[in-house]
Amino acid sequence: MEKRLYTLLQQAKQEEKEGLGAIIHQFEKKIEAELRQTSPQNRDDLRQELVLKVLEAVEKYNMEDVPNFEQFIEDQKGKE
């Protein structure tokens, strides 16, 4: 069973390699879809860049900015 992205982010933030690898694995289909839109000779370089972007996003992601359920509901009410 695949772990939720939030759990994997927590692991990655604790510098667990398993978490980072699983995050990249979860985005693999999206990466493959993007690679099909470019020429074959550029795909290897682009794959490396996309994986780096995912890793940078994990590094920059602030776990403390994730709202709890009540905060989420309040935020949604404000958007109506």
Lowest mean pLDDT among 3-7, 61-65, 76-80: 76-80
Residue type, 48: Q
Tell me the whole-structure pTM to 2 decimals. 0.70
Chain centroid, CA 40 distance in Å = 25
Measured CA to CA, the distance from residue 33 to residue 26 in angstroms comes to 13
Measured CA to CA, the distance from residue 76 to residue 50 in angstroms comes to 31
Q: What's the token pair of residue 38?
A: 């470019």
Percent helix, strand, coil in the chain (nearest 5)? 80, 0, 20
pLDDT tens figures, 15-67:
878 888 999 999 999 999 999 999 999 999 999 999 999 999 998 888 887 77
